[in-house]
């Protein structure tokens, strides 16, 4: 951490401090709606970080991360609804189940040399398979969805993740900061450098004596486990889970937009990406509503166009460009 802090220019340090203070003070200044947008933004920062570890650092393209969000959410929610086990305890089995799925996918993929596009398709296949499966599991409500009861008397029980908008905002802030710190630590750790080596040239990495299979497995395990925690948050924040919604491939894509737009394999890429995309999406919805256009696809069309433009013009994302333009880091990012 210290090395990263030291690498920043004074201007970079000031901006980071301003951002943190502004986010911490936000609930005092903004209304409920804006706070919900910010909460959503921070959630996408967090899951974006989790995905970025796997793709941005280790170079393994997963297009099925909604699987881990869904599994995490469903496990914790089912434990709460059926057995009254609170989410702080429920998060452990949630992470375990998601990581087990991640391990299965990773093992199949890496052991049998399924790479690139094929690996991405394997992750999609697993997510779709699970989506349809959950449609038929009566224990979690099937296609009709799983609902977390809203009880007035439980509202203050933060230890059961039953709180108001402020509470969930700070929880999302804690998750997002945690995600950034984990990414920062890993990027400077031995494992992080192994991932970079594998991403750049797997054969060369192997020649250097890196246990490629092990390093990739660690990437999947950490990424899926982290994503599952995001899923627990998602479930208790939204109070409802539908297989067609949480496991949908659209969710997987939504989740990877922020790191791609921000910059793959960078620590602040997912942060910047989410800070740009989520509010932009909300503004767009508000603007079209104001104009009286009732078209459900507007936001998505805009996202799609934005993706195409960004990947054509700045394929490395916005963050590396900002870093260079405004000299936020002393050397290279």
DSSP line for 161-194: T---HHHHHHHHHHHHHHHHHHHHHHHHSHHHHH
For residues 241 and 140, give the distance between their C-alpha atoms in angstroms, rounded to a whole number: 9
**Residues linked to residue 146 through DSSP beta bridges, in sequence order:** 241
In the block, which residue shows the tokens 């005092």? 28
> Site for another protein (CB under 8 A): which residue of 144, 156, 164, 315?
315
For residues 121 and 227, give the distance between their C-alpha atoms in angstroms, rounded to a whole number: 19
Please identify, among the stretches 86-94, 171-179, 220-228, 311-319, the one whose residues bind another protein according to the rule CB under 8 A.
Answer: 311-319
Which 8-state DSSP code applies to residue 146?
E
121 binds another protein, rule: CB under 8 A: yes
Closest CB to another protein among residues 174, 308: 308
CB neighbours of residue 236 within 10 Å = 22
For residues 237 and 132, give the distance between their C-alpha atoms in angstroms, rounded to a whole number: 24
53 binds another protein, rule: CB under 8 A: no
Residue 144, both tokens: 């009709």
Closest CB to another protein among residues 11, 136: 136
For residues 277 and 290, give the distance between their C-alpha atoms in angstroms, rounded to a whole number: 20
Quick note: the x/- pattern for another protein over 136-175, rule CB under 8 A, is x------x--------------------------------
260 binds another protein, rule: CB under 8 A: yes
297 binds another protein, rule: CB under 8 A: yes
In the block, which residue shows the tokens 């092990």? 214
In the block, which residue shows the tokens 């909460």? 39
> Site for another protein (CB under 8 A): which residue of 7, 196, 249, 284?
249
Please identify, among the stretches 46-54, 78-86, 106-114, 227-235, the one whose residues bind another protein according to the rule CB under 8 A.
Answer: 106-114
Please identify, among the stretches 20-28, 160-168, 174-182, 309-317, the one whose residues bind another protein according to the rule CB under 8 A.
Answer: 309-317
112 binds another protein, rule: CB under 8 A: yes
Q: Which residues bind another protein (CB under 8 A)?
A: 55, 61, 108, 112-114, 116-118, 120-122, 124-126, 128-129, 132-133, 135-136, 143, 249-250, 253, 260, 264, 295-298, 300-301, 303-308, 311-312, 315
């Amino acid at each position: 951490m210290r090395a990263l802090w030291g690498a920043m220019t004074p201007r970079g340090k000031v901006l980071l401090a301003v951002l943190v203070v502004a986010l911490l003070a936000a609930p005092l200044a903004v209304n409920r709606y804006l706070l919900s947008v910010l909460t959503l933004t921070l959630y996408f920062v967090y899951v974006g970080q989790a995905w970025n570890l796997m793709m941005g650092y280790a170079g393994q393209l997963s297009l099925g991360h909604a699987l881990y969000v869904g599994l995490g959410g469903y496990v914790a929610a089912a434990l709460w609804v059926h057995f009254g086990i609170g989410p702080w305890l429920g998060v452990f089995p949630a992470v375990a189940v998601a990581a087990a799925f991640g391990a299965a996918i990773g093992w199949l993929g890496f052991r049998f040399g399924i790479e690139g596009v094929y690996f991405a398709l394997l992750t999609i296949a697993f997510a779709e398979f699970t989506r349809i499966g959950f449609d038929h599991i009566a224990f979690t409500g099937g296609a009709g969805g799983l609902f977390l009861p809203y009880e007035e008397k439980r509202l203050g029980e933060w230890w059961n993740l039953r709180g108001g908008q402020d509470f969930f905002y700070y929880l999302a802030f804690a998750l997002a900061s945690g995600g950034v710190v984990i990414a920062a630590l890993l990027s400077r750790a031995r494992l992080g450098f192994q991932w970079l080596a594998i991403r750049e040239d797997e054969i060369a990495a192997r020649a250097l004596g890196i246990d490629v299979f092990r390093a990739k497995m660690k990437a999947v395990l950490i990424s899926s486990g982290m994503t599952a925690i995001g899923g627990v948050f998602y479930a208790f924040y939204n109070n409802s889970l539908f297989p067609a919604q949480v496991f949908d491939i659209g969710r997987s894509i939504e989740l990877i937009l922020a790191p791609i737009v921000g910059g793959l394999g960078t620590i602040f890429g997912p942060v910047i990406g989410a800070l740009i995309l989520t509010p932009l999406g909300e503004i767009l919805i508000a603007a079209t509503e104001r104009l009286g256009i009732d078209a459900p696809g507007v936001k998505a069309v805009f996202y799609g166009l934005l993706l195409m433009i960004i990947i054509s013009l700045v394929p490395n994302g916005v963050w590396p460009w900002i870093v260079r333009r405004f000299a936020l880091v002393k050397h290279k990012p």
